[in-house]
Amino acid sequence: MKRDALIELLMSSRENFLELLEGLTDEDLAGSKVNDAWSILDILAHLTRWEAELVKLLWQANQGQQPTSAQFSQISIDEINRKWFAEMKSRPASRVLEDFHGVRTQTIRRLEDFTDSDLNEIDRYLWLGGNALWEWVAADSFEHEAEHAEQIRAWRKGSTAQ
């Protein structure tokens, strides 16, 4: 995927996600459980943390370093998610929202340092195990966002039916 197309997807997916949140009250954001244990704010914090790790990965890749981001941790994804959930639970809503908006800007800034070849050549970064860098970007940003957007859509549909 070309860098500019990837950046466009990052921008449009965030726009679509924010539209999904329109009209929700503070109580909806913080008080309602969208899935088993997470509120919408918890989901936003979760998405932000994973995308922040992507920003770190992109910076390290651009510096020619082996990434040390959570994507390469020996700890399971479920355990990382539990740890981050506990850490982020007490963050004020304003801070969660600010971070959510800011991380996408950082992702785009980091991507601007890469060429189309950097993003597409599967042997460019051996630590990616035969995947193209753009695929990792997609997985930890707009694809991850889409997964949780679906949960929020289902919750919204269910909450309006009651």
Confidence at residue 68, expressed as pLDDT on a 0 to 100 scale: 87
Q: Tell which phi-psi region holds residue 65, choosing left (phi > 0), alpha (psi between -120 and 50) or beta.
A: beta
Confidence at residue 37, expressed as pLDDT on a 0 to 100 scale: 84
Residues in Cβ contact with 13 at an 8 Å cutoff, skipping those fewer than 6 apart: 141, 142, 145, 146
Alpha-carbon distance of 108 to 88, in angstroms, equals 24
Q: How confident is the model at residue 161 (pLDDT cuts 50, 70, 90)?
A: very low
Q: How confident is the model at residue 80 (pLDDT cuts 50, 70, 90)?
A: confident
Alpha-carbon distance of 84 to 96, in angstroms, equals 13
Alpha-carbon distance of 48 to 132, in angstroms, equals 22
The pair phi, psi for residue 62, each rounded to 5°, is -65, -25
Question: Which string of DSSP letters, residue by residue, matches 28-63?
Answer: HHHHSBSSSS-BHHHHHHHHHHHHHHHHHHHHHHHT
Name the pTM for this structure: 0.91
Q: Which of 47, 162, 61 is nearest to 96 (CA)?
A: 47
162 has pLDDT over 50: no
Could you read off the pLDDT of 142-159 as tens digits, one per residue? 999 999 999 999 999 886
Q: What is the mean pLDDT of residues 11-33?
A: 93
Which pair of structure tokens corresponds to residue 72? 């390469």
Confidence at residue 160, expressed as pLDDT on a 0 to 100 scale: 55
Domains of the chain, start order: 3-161 (1.20.120.450)
Could you read off the pLDDT of 31-76 as tens digits, one per residue? 878 887 899 999 999 999 999 999 999 999 999 999 888 888 888 8
Could you read off the pLDDT of 96-143 as tens digits, one per residue? 999 999 999 999 999 999 999 999 999 999 999 999 999 999 999 999
Point out the least confidently predicted range of 8-12, 90-94, 112-116, 137-141.
90-94
